[in-house]
Structure 1
């Protein structure tokens, strides 16, 4: 058995957005509810794609659908906190991308949580998988992590 994976450091990621927790993000245990972590994951991926011209949520002929997601929790986050949401691409396939995300609380160098989304890209009309558009691949290229 390999044991529990260790959290990543900030240096393992290439793109960051600062977001904040909200009062409503806390659950009755006074920490951020697990569903909120996925909300931060979803937000950074789609915000990056929209801001870089790879996704028009109304008109893009190719859209990404979540096929798999996971999150590992290492330390608690709650309101009020500043979260540095980190993004990288772990794998670029023919019609899919594995986005890897980490949440760093305040100025911490070690991730409080990390996980991934795998998006399968499909034709908006047919819903069938389709090769990644060149624009998307060019936007994603700076996020690809070096092979380890």
Structure 2
């Protein structure tokens, strides 16, 4: 699935990379248990601008920042880089709205999540 018929990573894969970067960071920080966290972030908006192609098996790196924190939402800014390259291959944004897992209704960002996200605000 990594490379498409044109020999590079297809545009839809970048959104998966964004999702992995965000959720991976939340899991690493101890803020998200994918199976049991009572409040979860659902993606409500994404966008991506592409600058250069990447292809499997190239090693990539991701950068993550927060550009806005709302009552129940967070807007992430992300970039994907070829390993060791300073210019981004792609950059984009990703918006989570936090909802109650059971009811799927918006809830305020949990305090520990908000505190950790504040460390990423640019």
TM class, shorter-length: over 0.9
Alpha-carbon distance, 1:79 to partner: 2.0
Q: How many residue pairs align between the two structures?
A: 122
Q: Which one of the candidate residues 33, 39, 59 is aligned to 1:82? A: 59
Q: CA RMSD in A?
A: 1.0
Gaps of 5+ in 1: 1-23
Scaled by the length of structure 2, what TM-score is found? 0.95
Q: State the Cα deviation string for residues 64-112 of structure 1 (Å, max 9, x = none).
A: 0000001110111112211111100011110000011100112211111
Alpha-carbon distance, 1:141 to partner: 1.8
| 1:67 paired to 2:44 | yes
| 1:128 paired to 2:101 | no
Partner of 2:94: 117
Greater RCO (Cα-Cα under 8 Å, separation 6 or more): 1
Alpha-carbon distance, 1:125 to partner: 1.5
Scaled by the length of structure 1, what TM-score is found? 0.79
Gaps of 5+ in 2: none
Partner of 2:8: 31
Partner of 1:105: 82
Distance 1:124 1:47 in 2: 19
